[in-house]
C-alpha cells in the first residue's frame, strides 16, 4: 500500500522536462528520468484506496493493477513490481512515454495524483537495463495461423497476446517500419523510435513475424485461420476551402511522417518547416506535435488555430473527478513556442476562410475569420473579422473521420456513420474469418485504448478458434 503517510510527506514530482530552449535543438526525449529513490517515494504516495479508481473504467483502460505495483516498487521489489505491471500492460515503454495517464486524473489524490506513468516507465526501463526482459517463447504451438493487419499499438498488442497463447502470428504492415502512429505520427521526442525497434526485435525473438511494405489484400484470408484488421482511423478531416491542393498544404500525419523519416535517416526531410511561416489548424495533441516539430526544424513562426473557445482553467460543472478533466493544457510544443516566440501560439475561435496561392500554386497566405458559438452549439463566422496571416506551410490537424475507403472496399466492409467498424453486438467479429480492433473499430483514440482493444480482440479470437464463440465461419 505504499507508505501510509506518503501522500502527505512527498509532493507529486514528475520526470522533469529538459529546458525548452535546449530541447528545441534536437529530436531527443523531452524528459529526463528521476533517480530510483525519487521514484520509490513517488510510488509511496499510493494509498491503497478502498476503491482504486485509477484501475477502474474511469482510469486505466488496461485495468493495470496500479496500487499493487506501486506498493512493490515502494518496498524496493522492482522485479516483482514489473512482473505485476506486465500482467496487464503489454508495452509499458510506450504508455510510460505517451499515455495521457487517465489513471492519474482518476486517482483519489485527484489533481495531485500518483505519478503512475513515470513509475511504469521506470519499472520497464529498469527491467530492460537489468536484463529481466527476455524473450518469452511459447511452450506449445496450436498450429493456428493468424494474420494481424496493421502494426500500430492495437495490432502489436493483439499479435503479442495471440503469440503468447501459442498461435502463429504474422503482422502485415504497409509502411516500411512497424509501429503505426507510434512510429509515423507521434514524434521522436515523445517516443524515440529505437524504443519501438527494441520491442519489435523482442517480439520477433518470441516468434512473431513482420511482413513490411505490404498492403494486405483478401488473399490473406485463404492462408489463415483468422485475420484481425487493425488499420487505424486514418482518414483525416479536411477543410472546406479552395486551394487545398496547393503546394505547402499538408495533413499533419504526412508532415510528421516525413519529419520522423528525416530524424531516422539523419537527413533533411522531404517536407520541412525550416524558414517557413507555419500555421497549424487544430488545437489538439496532433496540432501540438506539429508545433513542436516545426519549431525543431527552425520555422520562422508558428500559429495554431483552434475553432473552439479556450478551455477553462478549472474543471467545469458536469465534469467532476474521477472523469478526465476537460481543462486548458499547455503541452510541450506550446511551451516551446511560448519560450521562443514569447506568446502562446494558439488562437481560439478562429478558422481558415481561404488559402491564397501564387502562380505556381504554392500557398502564400491565409485568410482567417473569427467564430462565435451559437445557441445550438454551432460555430459561425463573425462578420468583419477577416485577417490575413502569412503562411507557406499549412498543416491540417483537424482530427480523423474513420477507416480508409480503400481498406473497406478491399475487404468488402462497410463502416458506421462515424467511420468505425464497430460490430453491433459489441464484439470484434466482422464476418467470415475477419475481426477488427483499435482505432479502426472505435474511432481515433489513445494508444492505451488501442492496446486494451487489441488484447480484447486477441482473447476473442482465441476463444473463437477453440469453438467457444458462436460466430459463423
Ligand X SMILES: Cc1cc2nc3c(=O)[nH]c(=O)nc-3n(C[C@H](O)[C@H](O)[C@H](O)COP(=O)(O)OP(=O)(O)OC[C@H]3O[C@@H](n4cnc5c(N)ncnc54)[C@H](O)[C@@H]3O)c2cc1C
Q: Which of 163, 286, 351, 368 binds ligand X (CB under 6 A)?
A: 286
Which of 96, 232, 325, 419 is in the footprint of ligand X by CB under 6 A? 232
Q: Give min distance, CB of 51 to ligand X, in A.
A: 25
Local structure of residue 17 (DSSP, 8 states): B
Cα(first)–Cα(last) distance of the chain, in Å? 48
Residue at grid coordinates 509511496: 44
* Least Å from the CB of residue 413 to ligand X: 12
> Smallest distance from the beta carbon of 448 to ligand X, in angstroms?
6
Site for ligand X in 369-428 (CB under 6 A): 407
CB atoms within 10 A of CB 40: 21
Query: Candidates 41-49, 68-76, 101-109, 150-158 — which segment interacts with ligand X by CB under 6 A?
Result: 150-158
Helix (H, G, I), strand (E, B) or coil at 279: strand
* Residue from the set 186, 422, 457, 458 that interacts with ligand X by CB under 6 A: 186
CA–CA gap between residue 197 and residue 185 (Å, rounded) = 15
Q: Does 181 bind ligand X (CB under 6 A)?
A: yes
**Strand 363-373, strand 379-381: pairing:** antiparallel
State the cell numbers at 49: 484506496
72 binds ligand X (CB under 6 A): no
Out of 151, 260, 334, 350, which residue is the one contacting ligand X (CB under 6 A)?
Answer: 151
88 in contact with ligand X (CB under 6 A): no
Which among 160, 162, 129 has a CA at the least distance from the CA of 146?
162
Place of cell 500559429: 303
Residues in binding contact with ligand X, number by CB under 6 A: 41
Does 175 sit near ligand X (CB under 6 A)? yes
Q: Which is nearer to ligand X, 44 or 443 (CB)?
A: 443
Q: Does the protein bind ligand X through residue 96 (CB under 6 A)?
A: no
- 98: left (phi > 0), else alpha (psi -120 to 50), else beta? alpha
Stretch that binds ligand X, among 70-78, 340-348, 354-362, 440-448 (CB under 6 A): 440-448
| β pairing state of 393-396 and 277-281 | parallel
Q: Which stretch binds ligand X (CB under 6 A): 34-42, 96-104, 291-299, 306-314?
A: 96-104
203 near ligand X, rule: CB under 6 A: no
Residues 114 and 104: beta-carbon distance below 8 Å:
yes
CB of 172 to ligand X, least distance (A): 5
Task: Tell me how far, at minimum, the Cβ of 153 lies from ligand X, in Å.
Answer: 5
Residue 268: CB atoms within 10 Å:
11
CA-based nearest residue to 96, from 66, 75, 116: 116
Does the protein bind ligand X through residue 253 (CB under 6 A)? yes
Task: Say whether residue 207 binds ligand X (CB under 6 A).
Answer: no
Residue 288 beta carbon to ligand X: minimum distance, rounded to whole angstroms = 9
Does the footprint of ligand X cover residue 259 (CB under 6 A)? no
Interface with ligand X (CB under 6 A), residue from 438, 455, 457, 461: 438
Question: Shortest distance, CB of residue 375 to ligand X, whole angstroms?
Answer: 33
* Alpha-carbon gap, residue 110 to 31, rounded angstroms: 23
Cβ-contact 269, 380 below 8 angstroms: no
> Is residue 127 at the binding interface for ligand X, with CB under 6 A as the rule?
no
**With binding defined as CB under 6 A, does residue 439 bind ligand X?**
yes
With CB under 6 A as the contact rule, the residue among 61, 92, 113, 152 that binds ligand X is 152
Prior bond of 322 cis (ω within 30°): yes
Instruction: Confirm or reject binding of residue 446 to ligand X (CB under 6 A).
Output: yes
Neighbours of 18 (CB within 10 A): 17
Q: In terms of CB distance, is 34 or 151 closer to ligand X? A: 151
- What part of residues 325-354 is at the interface with ligand X (CB under 6 A)? none
260 near ligand X (CB under 6 A): no
What pairs with residue 226 in β-bridges? 146
Is residue 155 at the binding interface for ligand X, with CB under 6 A as the rule? yes
Q: Which residues of 85-108 are buried (b: 16+ CB within 10 A; e: fewer)?
A: bbebbbbbbbbbbbbebbbbbbbb
Q: How far is the CB of 403 from ligand X (least distance, A)?
A: 9
Q: How many residues does the chain have?
A: 473
Q: Name the grid cell of 326.
A: 476537460
Report in angstroms how near the CB of residue 92 gets to ligand X at its nearest. 13
- Whether the Cβ atoms of residue 46 and residue 113 lie closer than 8 Å to each other: no
Q: Is the dihedral of CA 106, 107, 112, 118 positive or negative?
A: negative
In whole angstroms, what separates CA 386 from the centre of its chain?
35
Q: DSSP letter string over 15-42?
A: PPBPPHHHHTT--S-SB-PPPHHHHHHH
Minimum gap (Å) between residue 29 Cβ and ligand X: 13
Nearest distance, CB of residue 123 and ligand X, angstroms: 19
Report the distance separating Cα 261 and Cα 243, nearest Å: 27
Report in angstroms how near the CB of residue 354 gets to ligand X at its nearest: 26
Does residue 220 bind ligand X (CB under 6 A)? Answer: no
Instruction: Kindly list the residues in this chain that would bind ligand X in the complex (CB under 6 A).
Output: 98-100, 149-155, 172-175, 180-181, 185-186, 190, 215-216, 230-232, 234, 252-253, 256, 285-286, 289, 407, 438-440, 444-448, 450
Amino acid at each position: 500500500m505504499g507508505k501510509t503517510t506518503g501522500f502527505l510527506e512527498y509532493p507529486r514530482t514528475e520526470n522533469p522536462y529538459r529546458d525548452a530552449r535546449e530541447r528545441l535543438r534536437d529530436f531527443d526525449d523531452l524528459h529526463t528520468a528521476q533517480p530510483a529513490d525519487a521514484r520509490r517515494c513517488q510510488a509511496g504516495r499510493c494509498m491503497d484506496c478502498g476503491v482504486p479508481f485509477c484501475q477502474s473504467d474511469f482510469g486505466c483502460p488496461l485495468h493495470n493493477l496500479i496500487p499493487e505495483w506501486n506498493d512493490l516498487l515502494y518496498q524496493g521489489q522492482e522485479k516483482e513490481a514489473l512482473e505485476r505491471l506486465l500482467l496487464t500492460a503489454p508495452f509499458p515503454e510506450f504508455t510510460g512515454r505517451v499515455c495521457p495517464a487517465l489513471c492519474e486524473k482518476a486517482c483519489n489524490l485527484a489533481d495531485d495524483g500518483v505519478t503512475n506513468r513515470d513509475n511504469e516507465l521506470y519499472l520497464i526501463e529498469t527491467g530492460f537495463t537489468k536484463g529481466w526482459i527476455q524473450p518469452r517463447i511459447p511452450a506449445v504451438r496450436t498450429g493456428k495461423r493468424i494474420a494481424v493487419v496493421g502494426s500500430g499499438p492495437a495490432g502489436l498488442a493483439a499479435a503479442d497476446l495471440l503469440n503468447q497463447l501459442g498461435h502463429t502470428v504474422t503482422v502485415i504492415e504497409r509502411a516500411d517500419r512497424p509501429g503505426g502512429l507510434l512510429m509515423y505520427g507521434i514524434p521522436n521526442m515523445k517516443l524515440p523510435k529505437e524504443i519501438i525497434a527494441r520491442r519489435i526485435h523482442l517480439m520477433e525473438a518470441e516468434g512473431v513475424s513482420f511482413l513490411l511494405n505490404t498492403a494486405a489484400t483478401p488473399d490473406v484470408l485463404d492462408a489463415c485461420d483468422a485475420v484481425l484488421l487493425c488499420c487505424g482511423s486514418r482518414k483525416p478531416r479536411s477543410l472546406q476551402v479552395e486551394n487545398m491542393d496547393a503546394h505547402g498544404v499538408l495533413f499533419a500525419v504526412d508532415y510528421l511522417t516525413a519529419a520522423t523519416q528525416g530524424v531516422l535517416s539523419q537527413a533533411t526531410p522531404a517536407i520541412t518547416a525550416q524558414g517557413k511561416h507555419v500555421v497549424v489548424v487544430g488545437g489538439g495533441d496532433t496540432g501540438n506535435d506539429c508545433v513542436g516539430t516545426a519549431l525543431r526544424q527552425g520555422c520562422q513562426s508558428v500559429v495554431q488555430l483552434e475553432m473552439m473557445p479556450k478551455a477553462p482553467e478549472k474543471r467545469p460543472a458536469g465534469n467532476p473527478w474521477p472523469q478526465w478533466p476537460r481543462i486548458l493544457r499547455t503541452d510541450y510544443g506550446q511551451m516551446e513556442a511560448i519560450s521562443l516566440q514569447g506568446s502562446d501560439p494558439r488562437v481560439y475561435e478562429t478558422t481558415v476562410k481561404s488559402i491564397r496561392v501564387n502562380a505556381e500554386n504554392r500557398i502564400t497566405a491565409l485568410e482567417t475569420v473569427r467564430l462565435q458559438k451559437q445557441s445550438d452549439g454551432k460555430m459561425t463566422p463573425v462578420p468583419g473579422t477577416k485577417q490575413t496571416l502569412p503562411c507557406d506551410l499549412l498543416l491540417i490537424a483537424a482530427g480523423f473521420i474513420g477507416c480508409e475507403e480503400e481498406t473497406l472496399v478491399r475487404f468488402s466492409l462497410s463502416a458506421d456513420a462515424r467511420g468505425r467498424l464497430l460490430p453491433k453486438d459489441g464484439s470484434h467479429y466482422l464476418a467470415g474469418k475477419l475481426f477488427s480492433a483499435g482505432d479502426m473499430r472505435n474511432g481515433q483514440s489513445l494508444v492505451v485504448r488501442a492496446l486494451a482493444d487489441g488484447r480484447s480482440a486477441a482473447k476473442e479470437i482465441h476463444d473463437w478458434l477453440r469453438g467457444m464463440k458462436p460466430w459463423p465461419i
